Amino acid sequence: MKNKEIKLPENIPVHVAVIMDGNGRWAKKRGLPRVFGHKKGVDSVRNIIRASAEFGIKYMTLYVFSSENWQRPENEVKQLMKLLEELLIKEEPELNKNNVRVRAIGQIERLPDKVRENLNYMIDKTKDNTGLVLILAISYGGRNEIIDAIKKIGKAKRNLDELTSEEFSKYLYDPTIPDPDLMIRTAGEKRISNYLLWQSAYTEFYFTNVLWPDFGKQELFTAIEDYSKRKRRYGRVLVIE
């Protein structure tokens, strides 16, 4: 089915975070091993990155691999790490072509050496780009990020009586990234799954039954359109003049 004409609303989210769910179910429905779903999901990543840049989104964070994902079957984890290792090199020309800058958050030190090496290569090769900032949440867990921030605060010997939420944010994995305005989760699940727990205090959520490998430009537009109709109060009363 062809995409309908896209006319963007004025209220575009600055930062969109995505929980890319449903790769395994997509493969299972087709009688294929789970890794085929992950590979197909990469096509959706490419499409969404291009669409985000086109729509004028400034930041996009993708939940690539959670801290809990290390508990998956060993063979699947190895396949995922191998796929990630290859993609971090393969996708570099495309990202540079689209002026995308790559960053990463998470316990990166837990990644295999080659994956970490290729990730650093990607970050370095795209560091001067000025378009969409793509944040890869890899070996990431929201609780771990908060605990790691507390450890940094302890080492800095900060006066806890003077600590504010703004100051605390400076100790997160990348404090230069603004909080997400919109979080999208695919595949029908309605939970946050330990993702950006601190940052999503006032994030708007959008849930869709579409499996990640089937999520494309049109689905992203639909999520943005839904977001644009919301009234964000941040705990305050909305005054209508």
Q: What is the pLDDT of residues 46-97, one digit of tens each?
A: 999 999 999 999 999 999 999 999 999 999 999 999 999 999 999 999 999 9
How confident is the model at residue 241, as a pLDDT? 47
CB 154 within 8 A of CB 171: no
Confidence of residue 240 (pLDDT cuts 50, 70, 90): low
For the entire predicted model, the pTM comes to: 0.93
Q: What is the pLDDT of residues 165-183, one digit of tens each?
A: 999 999 999 999 999 999 9
Q: Which residue's entry shows tokens 């999503």?
A: 200
How confident is the model at residue 150, as a pLDDT? 96
Q: Which of 193, 132, 199, 192 is nearest to 171 (CA)?
A: 199
Q: Which of 134, 147, 74 is nearest to 107 (CA)?
A: 147
Q: Which of 182, 175, 197 is nearest to 232 (CA)?
A: 182
**pLDDT above 50 (res 1):** no
How confident is the model at residue 237, as a pLDDT? 58
What's at 57, amino acid-wise? I
Average pLDDT score, the chain = 94
Distance (Å, rounded) from C-alpha 159 to C-alpha 167?
Answer: 11
Question: Apex CA 47: angle with CA 119 and CA 63, to 5°?
Answer: 45
Q: What is the pLDDT of residues 7-45, one digit of tens each?
A: 888 899 999 999 999 999 999 999 999 989 999 999 999
How confident is the model at residue 238, as a pLDDT? 55
Q: Which residues pair with 17 in a beta bridge?
A: 61, 183
Catalytic residue among 21, 118, 144, 181: 21
Catalytic residue among 43, 47, 69, 209: 69
Examine the residue annotation and report whether 148 is marked as an active-site residue of this protein: no
Examine the residue annotation and report whether 124 is marked as an active-site residue of this protein: no
**What number is the average pLDDT over the span 100-108?**
98
Q: What is the pLDDT of residues 108-143, one digit of tens each?
A: 999 999 999 999 999 999 999 999 999 999 999 999
Confidence of residue 231 (pLDDT cuts 50, 70, 90): confident
Domains of the chain, start order = 15-228 (3.40.1180.10)
Q: Which of 231, 229, 101, 75 is nearest to 177 (CA)?
A: 101
How confident is the model at residue 8, as a pLDDT? 87
